[in-house]
Amino acid sequence: MPASVIVDALWGDSGKGKACAYLSRKHDAALAVRAGIGTNAGASVTLESGELIKARQLPTGWLNPGTRVAVGSGVLVDPRIFASELDRFGIADRAMVDLRCAVITEDHIAAEQGDDHLLERVGSTCTGNGHARADFILRRARQARDLPELEPYLADVAAEANRIAATDDQLVIIESSQGTMLSLALSDDYPYTTSGNCTTAAALNDVGLNWRHLTDVIMVVKAMPTRVGHGPLPYELSAAEVERRGIAEYGVNTGRLRRKAAALDHDLLRYAAMLNGPTQIALTFGDHLDPRLRGARTTAAIGPEVRTVIAEVEASTGAPVTLLDTGPRLADMIELG
C-alpha cells in the first residue's frame, strides 16, 4: 500500500481532513503530506472527547501518533501558521516542510485584503496565497530555505515521500485541499476559483510523488455539497432553510456561513470522477442528509434515503463507496464493502 491521495470532488469543505486522520490511524500511515494551494483552506476534526482540531497548514494525519507530517514543495507556507500548529499540536519532532516551498508574507496578505476584485467579486479568503503564488511564478518569492526559523524542519519532502512509497509495508497519504470544481484551469466557474488545480494529478505534482507509487484515490463526496464565496451552486438551499434543518456550517478559516445544496449534481460528479480517477469514494455528512444516521457506526443504521444516494454516487463515479461519514467525531464512520 504505497500511496493514497485524498481529493475533493466538488467545492471543498467535505471532510478531507477527517478522512486523512481516520485513514492514517487505520493504516498506521508512515507519512501524511499536505498538497493544495496553501493556508487559504482549513480542515477540522472533532475527537472523541469533543475537542475540535482546526488546521490550515499541516495535514491531519498527525492524529495518528506514528505518522509524520509534511508540507509538499508545491504548497505555500505561512511560517506563522506553521509555527502555531507545531506548538498547538505538539508535533515539532515529526513535522517537515519542503525547503522549496514558497513563503507567504505579511505583504502578500495585506495586498489581498486591499484587493476589491478578490474580496468583493471572487469572494477570496484573502490570506495572501494568490499574491504569494504570483510572486513564486515570477521567481521573486522567498522560499522556506531562506527563513532561519524554518531551518530545523526543512527536508526534501518529494524524496522522502518517494522513498517511503517505494516500500511494500508503509503508506504515504496525500491530503489535497479545496475541491476539484474550484480548480483554476479546469472549472467552468472562473474567476470564482482558487489559484491552482485541486485534482489527483495536481496533488501528486504538489508533493513530487511518482505516479507509479499511487495505489488509491479516495474521492470525497459531500452528500449535501457546500460552497463558500461566490459562484454557482446547483440545488442551493436558502440560508433560512439551512438553519431550519439545523445543518448550518461555517468555514474553518473565515467563519463564513457555507452555502448549502439540497442534492448532488451528478453531471458535475461524473466530470470530477473523469478528472480524478477515484478508486474509492468517501461519502461525507450523511447525517445532514438523514439526521437519524448521526453518530452511527454500523451498517444497520443506514436508511433507504442514504442507500439510494450511495447507489447513485457509485453509478456516477464508477467507484465504490467505502466510507460513510455519519457525524462530527473522528470515529463517526461506517466502513462499507
Convert the pLDDT of each residue in 287-313 to its tens digit: 999 999 999 999 999 999 999 999 999
Please count the structural domains in the chain.
Answer: 1
Rounded to an integer, what is the distance from CA 238 to the centroid of its chain? 25
Return the pLDDT at 115.
82
Q: What percent of the chain has pLDDT above 90?
A: 89
Q: Give the mean model confidence (pLDDT) for residues 177-189.
A: 96
Query: With bands split at pLDDT 50, 70 and 90, how would you rate the model's confidence at 235?
Result: very high
Residues in the annotated binding site for substrate? 252-258
3-class SS at 81? helix
Residues 6+ apart with CB under 8 A from 266: 312, 316
Asked whether 2 and 31 are in contact (CB, 8 A), the reply is no
Query: With bands split at pLDDT 50, 70 and 90, how would you rate the model's confidence at 253?
Result: low
Distance (Å, rounded) from C-alpha 55 to C-alpha 34?
11
Distance (Å, rounded) from C-alpha 237 to C-alpha 249?
13
Helix (H) or strand (E) holding 174: strand 172-175
**How does pLDDT run across 153-180, given as a tens digit for each residue?**
999 999 999 999 999 889 999 999 999 9
3-class SS at 267? helix
Distance (Å, rounded) from C-alpha 69 to C-alpha 67?
6
DSSP line for 94-137: GEEEETT-BB--HHHHHHHHT-HIIIIII----SSHHHHHHHHH
In eight-state DSSP terms, residue 88 is H
Distance (Å, rounded) from C-alpha 180 to C-alpha 332?
25
CATH of the domain at 218: 3.40.440.10
Return the pLDDT at 271.
98
Which entry of 8, 13, 265, 325 is annotated as an active-site residue? 13
**How does pLDDT run across 33-43, given as a tens digit for each residue?**
999 999 998 89
**pLDDT at 1 > cutoff 80:** no
Helix (H) or strand (E) holding 158: helix 157-165
Residues in the annotated binding site? 13, 42, 125, 139, 178, 194, 252-258, 285-287
Residues in the annotated binding site for IMP? 125, 139, 178, 194, 256
Q: Give the mean model confidence (pLDDT) for residues 33-55.
A: 94
3-class SS at 143? strand
Return the pLDDT at 41.
84
- Mean pLDDT, the chain, integer: 95
More confident residue, 149 or 123: 149
Does 191 sit behind a cis peptide bond, omega within 30 degrees of 0 on the bond before it?
Answer: yes
User: Known catalytic residue: 216?
Assistant: no
Q: Choose among 154, 164, 175: nearest CA to 55.
A: 175
Q: Give the mean model confidence (pLDDT) for residues 4-12.
A: 97
**pLDDT at 238 > cutoff 70:** yes
Show the domain range for 100: 3-335
**How does pLDDT run across 72-87, given as a tens digit for each residue?**
999 999 999 999 999 9
More confident residue, 251 or 239: 239
